[in-house]
C-alpha cells in the first residue's frame, strides 16, 4: 500500500485504550503489526485513531484524543495510536490511482467516492487539514440550511456563527424558501447581515427616502454599496432571527468597524415613547425612546459613544435613522447647536460641523449602512488540553513495504 517514501507518522501511547463509544470496527492482525492496523484505519473513512490490544486485536475509533481528552482510559495490554499524513490529498490520489490500475484495494481511499458516509440532506466534502490531519471528510449542509440534520433554514448570517466564518457574501434563505446571497460581517460574538447601504450622493433616491415599511428593493441581487436595499420580506426574515441593529459609515472602504463610525443597539431595548412597547423597526412611525449605548458599541470620529443616549426615528418619507445623540461627553466636545441630529442612516441635513468628523457625510461617496445582527447563543469553549498521562509516547515513520 505504501510507496518507498515515508508518508505516515504514527504516535502511540502504551497502556491506554479508548472508550467503546467510538468503536467502529474490529480486525484480527498479525502479532503487533501496527502498519496492518493503520491500513485498516485508512480504509475506513470514519477512523480517526486506532488501538491494538493483546497484540492481535486491531480496533478502530471514530474520535481523536486531541478533540476528546477524556477518550482514553488506563488499560494494560493495549496501545492507542494516532497517525499524521504528509500531503494528504496527493497521497490519497496516488492510492486511488493504484486502485483504478487494478491493484487489489478493498476500498477507495478518497472518502467522498464512498456512499453512505453522510446522512440525508448532507454533502460529503474532502478535508485536507494540517491542523486535523486525521480527518478526511466532513458532512456539510446544502446551501441555505444548518443544524444537526441540515433541516434548519439559515435566515441570516447568524446561521454561520458556529462554523468557519469570514466576512463577505454568504447564502441564506428567505421566507419563500429561496436561497440568495447577503453580505455578512462577523465579530467574535455577533454576525451582522447587511440590509441597506447607500451613498451621500444617492440620498435623494426614492428608495432611501422612504420608510423601511415600504417594499422598495434596489440592487438586492448584486451588492452595490452606493445603492443597495433588500426587499421588505427579506428584511423581515433577517430581523426575525436577529437581536441587534447596527448603523455604520463607509464600511466597504475599510471592512473594519474600528475604522468606521458606527452604533449598535439591542432590538429589545428599542421601545415606543408612549407605553414602552418594543418597537418593530420596520414598521416604526415616529420616535423611539432613548437607548444608552454600551461600552465599545459606538463611535463618531474620535468620540466614543459610551453612555450616550440614542433616539431613532422613522416616518413615511423619512428612513429609519439615528435622530439624536444626547447626554454624554460627545455633545460637550462636539456640535452644541443641535447639529448632532441625523447622524446615521439618513442624509436629511448636515452642517459643516458634522461633516468635519462624521464619516457618513464627509463627501459625496461617503456611505451609510444598516445591519441586523445575531449574537452567539452559546460560547464554544476551546478544546481542553490533552490531559492523558501515564503512558509512554512513541513515534514511527512508516516507509513503504
At 216, give phi and psi (nearest 5°). -130, 65
Say if domain 7-88 classifies as CATH 3.50.4.10: yes
- Tell me: pLDDT of 125 over 50: yes
* Torsion of the alpha carbons at 199, 200, 206 and 211, rounded to the nearest 10: 90
- Tell me: pLDDT of 386 over 60: no
Question: Residue 67's pLDDT is what?
Answer: 83
- Tell me: pLDDT of 396 over 90: no
Residues 6+ positions from 136 with CB-CB distance below 8 Å: 45, 88, 92, 111, 126, 127
| Helices marked H in 170-313 | 206-209, 232-240, 251-254
- Tell me: pLDDT of 383 over 70: no
- Tell me: pLDDT of 248 over 70: yes
Sign of the CA dihedral 310, 314, 318, 319? positive
Residues 6+ positions from 196 with CB-CB distance below 8 Å: 208, 212, 228, 229, 230, 369, 370
Other Cβ atoms closer than 10 A to 312: 25
Residue pair 184/195 in contact by the 8 Å Cβ criterion: no
- Annotated domain spans of the chain: 7-88, 154-375
Q: Cα–Cα distance between 257 and 298 in angstroms, integer?
A: 9
Residue scoring higher pLDDT (184 or 70): 184
CA 222 centroid distance within chain = 22
Q: Which of 98-107, 275-284, 356-365 has the lowest mean pLDDT?
A: 98-107
Task: Name the one residue in this structure whose C-alpha cell is 445575531.
Answer: 374
Q: Cα–Cα distance between 390 and 381 in angstroms, integer?
A: 26
Other Cβ atoms closer than 10 A to 245: 25
Question: Residue 379's pLDDT is what?
Answer: 30
At 97, give phi and psi (nearest 5°). -65, -40
pTM over 0.85: no
Q: Please give the grid coordinates belonging to residue 70.
A: 477524556
Residues 6+ positions from 264 with CB-CB distance below 8 Å: 190, 244, 245, 246, 293, 294, 297, 298, 373
Other Cβ atoms closer than 10 A to 58: 23
3-class state of residue 93 by DSSP:
helix
Interval 287-310: pLDDT, tens: 999 999 988 899 988 888 999 999
For the segment 161-179, the average pLDDT, to the nearest whole number, is 89
Closest residue by Cα to residue 36 from 2, 85, 75: 2
Q: Cα–Cα distance between 118 and 264 in angstroms, integer?
A: 40
Q: Cα–Cα distance between 17 and 69 in angstroms, integer?
A: 12
For the segment 21-49, the average pLDDT, to the nearest whole number, is 90
Q: Cα–Cα distance between 305 and 325 in angstroms, integer?
A: 8
Question: Residue 390's pLDDT is what?
Answer: 42
Across the chain, what does the average pLDDT equal?
A: 83
| Helices marked H in 222-311 | 232-240, 251-254
Provide, for the chain, the percentages of residues in helix, strand and coil under a 3-state DSSP scheme, each rounded to the nearest 5: 15, 35, 50
Q: Please give the grid coordinates belonging to residue 175.
A: 421566507
Amino acid at each position: 500500500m505504501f510507496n518507498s517514501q515515508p508518508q505516515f507518522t504514527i504516535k502511540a501511547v502504551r497502556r491506554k485504550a479508548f472508550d467503546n463509544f467510538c468503536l467502529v470496527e474490529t480486525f484480527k492482525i498479525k502479532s503487533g503489526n501496527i502498519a496492518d492496523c493503520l491500513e485498516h484505519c485508512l480504509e475506513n473513512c470514519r477512523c480517526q485513531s486506532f488501538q491494538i490490544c493483546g497484540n492481535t486485536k486491531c480496533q478502530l475509533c471514530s474520535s481523536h484524543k486531541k478533540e476528546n481528552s477524556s477518550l482514553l482510559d488506563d488499560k494494560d495490554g493495549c496501545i492507542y495510536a494516532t497517525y499524521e499524513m504528509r500531503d494528504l490529498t496527493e497521497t490519497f490520489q496516488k492510492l486511488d490511482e493504484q486502485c483504478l490500475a487494478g491493484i487489489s484495494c478493498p476500498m477507495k481511499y478518497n472518502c467522498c467516492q464512498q456512499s453512505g458516509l453522510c446522512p440525508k440532506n448532507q454533502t460529503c466534502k474532502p478535508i485536507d487539514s494540517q491542523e486535523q490531519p486525521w480527518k478526511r471528510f466532513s458532512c456539510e449542509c446544502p446551501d441555505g440550511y444548518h443544524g444537526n440534520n441540515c433541516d434548519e433554514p439559515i435566515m441570516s448570517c447568524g446561521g454561520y456563527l458556529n462554523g468557519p466564518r469570514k466576512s463577505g457574501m454568504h447564502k441564506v434563505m428567505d421566507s419563500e424558501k429561496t436561497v440568495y446571497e447577503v453580505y455578512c460581517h462577523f465579530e467574535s460574538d455577533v454576525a451582522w447581515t447587511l440590509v441597506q447601504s447607500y451613498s451621500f450622493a444617492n440620498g435623494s433616491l426614492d428608495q432611501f427616502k422612504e420608510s423601511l415599511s415600504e417594499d422598495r428593493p434596489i440592487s438586492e441581487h448584486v451588492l452595490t454599496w452606493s445603492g443597495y436595499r433588500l426587499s421588505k420580506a427579506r428584511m423581515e426574515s433577517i430581523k426575525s432571527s436577529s437581536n441587534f441593529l447596527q448603523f455604520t459609515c463607509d464600511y466597504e472602504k475599510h471592512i473594519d468597524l474600528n475604522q468606521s463610525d458606527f452604533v449598535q443597539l439591542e432590538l429589545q431595548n428599542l421601545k415606543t415613547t408612549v407605553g414602552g412597547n418594543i418597537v418593530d423597526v420596520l414598521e416604526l412611525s415616529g420616535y423611539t425612546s432613548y437607548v444608552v449605548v454600551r461600552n465599545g458599541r459606538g463611535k463618531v470620529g474620535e468620540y466614543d459613544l459610551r453612555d450616550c443616549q440614542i433616539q431613532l426615528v422613522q416616518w413615511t418619507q423619512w428612513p429609519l435613522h439615528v435622530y439624536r445623540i444626547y447626554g454624554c461627553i460627545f455633545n460637550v466636545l462636539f456640535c452644541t447647536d443641535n447639529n448632532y441630529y441625523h447622524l446615521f442612516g439618513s442624509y436629511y441635513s448636515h452642517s459643516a460641523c458634522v461633516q468635519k468628523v462624521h464619516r457618513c457625510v464627509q463627501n459625496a461617496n461617503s456611505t451609510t449602512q444598516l445591519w441586523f445582527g445575531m449574537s452567539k447563543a452559546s460560547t464554544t469553549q476551546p478544546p481542553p488540553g490533552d490531559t492523558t498521562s501515564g503512558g509512554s509516547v512513541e513515534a514511527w515513520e512508516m516507509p513503504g513495504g
